[in-house]
Amino acid sequence: MTINVVRGNFVTGHDWTVTQRMVPMDNMDYSRNWRVSYGVVWYADSEGGNISFPNEAHQLVVATNFPASLPQPGAGGAGTQNQTDASNYSQIAWANLQSYAAQTPLIVDPLHVITEDMFIQCWSFNAAGNPAAITAGMNYMIVLEALDGEKVGLMGIIRQSDANNASI
C-alpha cells in the first residue's frame, strides 16, 4: 500500500476569502488516485509552552474540485452560511475545532476518490456568527492512501459530478 502525508498550517489571520491550499495530485491519466484515510487538525499557537485556545470555533474543509467549490459566506449574515456541505460531493472531509479542543479528527467521506487536485481551507467565526479570518494558527495532517486503476478514477469522477448518486 502506498501512502502520502500532506501536512502544514494556516497562520493566525489567514484570510479564507483570498487563499486556500492546493495540493497538486493530478497525474492526467486517472490510473493513480487517492483517498483520505485519516486526518487531524490542532491549534498551533502557544503562550509560554501552553496551547493558546481561541474563543471561536474553527472549521476546515478538504475538497476535490476547483476553489469555487470551497465554502463561501452567505449574503444574509449569521446563520445563512453553508460552509460545510455534505451534499456537495466535491467536499470530502470536514473538521470543527472548538476553542477547548486539543485536536480534532477529520470526518471523512469513506466513498470519495481524489482524481485530480485537493484543496484545503479553514476559517473561524466572529461574535456575530459570520465567517472570519482565523484567530489562532491551525496545523493539519492528512494521510492519503493510493488507489490504483482507471476504473476507480472514473467512478470517483462520476460520483463527484452527480450529487444524487451516493451509492457508487
Q: How far apart are the first and last CA of the chain?
A: 23
Confidence band, pLDDT 50/70/90 cuts, at residue 69: low
Question: Domain for residue 168, yes or no?
Answer: no
Taking only the tens place, the pLDDT of each residue in 106-139 is 999 998 888 888 888 888 877 777 777 888 888 9
Q: CB burial class (10 A; 0-12, 13-18, 19+) of residue 15?
A: exposed
- Helices first, then strands: H and E counts in the chain: 1, 12
| pTM check: above 0.75 | yes
User: How many domains, in total, are found in the chain?
Assistant: 1
Tell me how far apart the alpha carbons of residues 81 and 147 are, in angstroms, rounded to a whole number. Answer: 34
**Which residues 6+ apart lie within 8 Å of 164 measured at CB?**
none
Q: What pLDDT score was predicted for residue 167?
A: 45
Q: Is the pLDDT confidence value at 67 over 90? A: no
Question: Domain for residue 81, yes or no?
Answer: yes
Which is higher by pLDDT, 81 or 84? Answer: 84
Question: Domain for residue 40, yes or no?
Answer: yes
Confidence band, pLDDT 50/70/90 cuts, at residue 6: very high
User: Which domain, by its residues, includes 97?
Assistant: 3-161
Confidence band, pLDDT 50/70/90 cuts, at residue 33: confident
Confidence band, pLDDT 50/70/90 cuts, at residue 14: confident
Q: What pLDDT score was predicted for residue 164?
A: 45
Question: Domain for residue 166, yes or no?
Answer: no
Q: What pLDDT score was predicted for residue 5?
A: 94
Q: What pLDDT score was predicted for residue 80?
A: 47
Question: Domain for residue 167, yes or no?
Answer: no
| Residue 49 backbone class (left: φ over 0; alpha: ψ -120 to 50; beta: rest) | left
Q: Is the pLDDT confidence value at 7 over 90? A: yes
Question: Domain for residue 100, yes or no?
Answer: yes
As a whole number, the mean pLDDT across the chain is 76
Confidence band, pLDDT 50/70/90 cuts, at residue 165: very low
Beta carbons of 12 and 135 less than 8 angstroms apart: yes
Question: Domain for residue 25, yes or no?
Answer: yes
User: Rounded to whole angstroms, what are the CA distances from 79 to 111, 123, 144?
Assistant: 29, 15, 33
User: Rounded to whole angstroms, what are the CA distances from 109 to 53, 64, 73, 137, 145?
Assistant: 28, 12, 23, 25, 14
